Chain A
Amino acid sequence: MQLSPYSFRDGLRDGLPIALGYLSVSFGFGISSVGQGLSWRSATVISLVNLTSAGQVAGVAIIAAMGSLGEMALAQLVINIRYLLMSISLAQRLDGGFTLPHRFFVSFGITDEIFAVASSKPEIVGPKYMYGLILGPVIGWTLGTLLGGVAGEILPAAVNAAMGIAIYAMFVAIVIPQARSDRGVLVCAAIAVALSCLMRYVPALSRVSGGFAVIICAVLAASAAAVLFPVADEAEQEAEA
């Protein structure tokens, strides 16, 4: 049985930068959630059990708009479908110590950043390393939400109003650098933005609720980009790397 060389401490160390990043992003989520009527306690619990940014922002919007549970389920499925791919990919790089219970626990912690770090390790990874890697980000994500939520409840209204933009500014900061270097991402995001504006401002379309609007825009834009700019085959990708 092949075992990973990485320890729990290695995981903790690799997870620290992610935890610090999450602390600030989730602060924005906490503020915006409280702004939409949730308590800081609800926002904190949502972060602890979901551990995902875009899905939570969409989810809170659906809660605020009193959308249906079906809309909630479908929105989470579409927005988080990328974790499916990451989970498949990560499953190929687990060591022999990864028994079924470990898979049940560790899969909870798959996020964009955790996946990226775990995948970038030269050797296969084991459960201990993964628990170390996930622990910091979970704490950072939950604590940041708590702090943001509490700040949202006690800060003056004018400050809160301005901080409502924080989480969206971070989304901008995720997309723009990628769009600069990757035409497929650029075209994909541009189509999504155009569709999203249509859904919001064209009277007949604006009756579609926010959660469904995001699903429709995302599926159409990602499909168009996948046809126009298909990604390289895995063999080609490995040759590039």
Chain B
Amino acid sequence: MSAIPLWAYVLVMAGVTYLVRMTPMVLLRRKIRSRFLRSFLRYVPYAVLGAMTIPAIFHSTASVASAAVGFLVAAALSFRGRSLITVAVAACAAAYLAQLIIGFI
């Protein structure tokens, strides 16, 4: 089996994403009545982000230990309602420092 070219992946990716956005706006003009479906659609983003973030975040830096430090910092700052950019920069800095310390000892 030969490798799939990058452009094919990007085409499928962008094509499906666009169709999901475009189809209802062009074709469908009604509201979704099903309560289950509306609830499901409301929760999907958080389900996706939860599943994508954990455990992947623990494998996103040079070691599980430094990633765990970064995650704890991100969780604590998010809990206190800090902005996305603050949380991200702090998590990177924490992971970097943790990795320095791990390398030192």
Contacts and interface: CB of A to CB of B under 8 A. Distances in A.
A225 B41 contact: no
Contact of A230 (B22, B35, B55): B35
A91 B28 contact: yes
* Chain A contact surface mostly: helix
Interface string A140-162: 00000000000000000011011
B92 A192 contact: no
Contacts of A180: 79
Interface string A161-202: 111111111111111111110001100111111011100110
Interface size class of B (residues with CB under 8 A): 35 or more
A83 interface: yes
Given A49-B14, A85-B32, A162-B95, A107 B21 contact: yes
B interface, by DSSP: helix, strand, loop or mixed?
helix
Contacts of A21: 84-85
B104 interface: no
Interface residues of A, number: 102
A104 B17 contact: no
Contact of B49 (A62, A77, A171): A171
A165 B92 contact: yes
B43 A225 contact: yes
B91 A169 contact: yes
Nearest to B35: A230
B32 A88 contact: yes
A82 to B, nearest CB: 5
Interface string A206-217: 000000011001
17 contacts: A32-B60, A46-B10, A49-B10, A58-B52, A78-B48, A84-B24, A86-B21, A110-B25, A162-B62, A168-B52, A170-B87, A174-B49, A189-B46, A190-B50, A193-B50, A193-B51, A196-B55
Interface of B: 3-4, 6, 8-10, 12-14, 16-18, 20-26, 28-32, 35-57, 60-62, 66-67, 70-71, 74-75, 77-79, 81-85, 87-93, 95-96, 99-100
Given A73-B12, A184-B43, A185-B43, 14 more contacts: A50-B14, A52-B17, A58-B48, A87-B23, A92-B29, A104-B22, A161-B95, A169-B92, A175-B49, A189-B50, A192-B50, A217-B50, A226-B43, A227-B39
Interface of A: 21, 24-25, 28, 32, 38, 42, 45-46, 49-52, 54-59, 62-63, 66, 68-69, 72-73, 76-92, 100, 103-104, 106-108, 110, 112, 158-159, 161-180, 184-185, 188-193, 195-197, 200-201, 213-214, 217-219, 221-223, 225-227, 229-231, 233-234
Closest 9 CB pairs of A and B: A192-B50, A169-B91, A162-B96, A226-B39, A217-B51, A176-B78, A189-B50, A173-B87, A221-B47
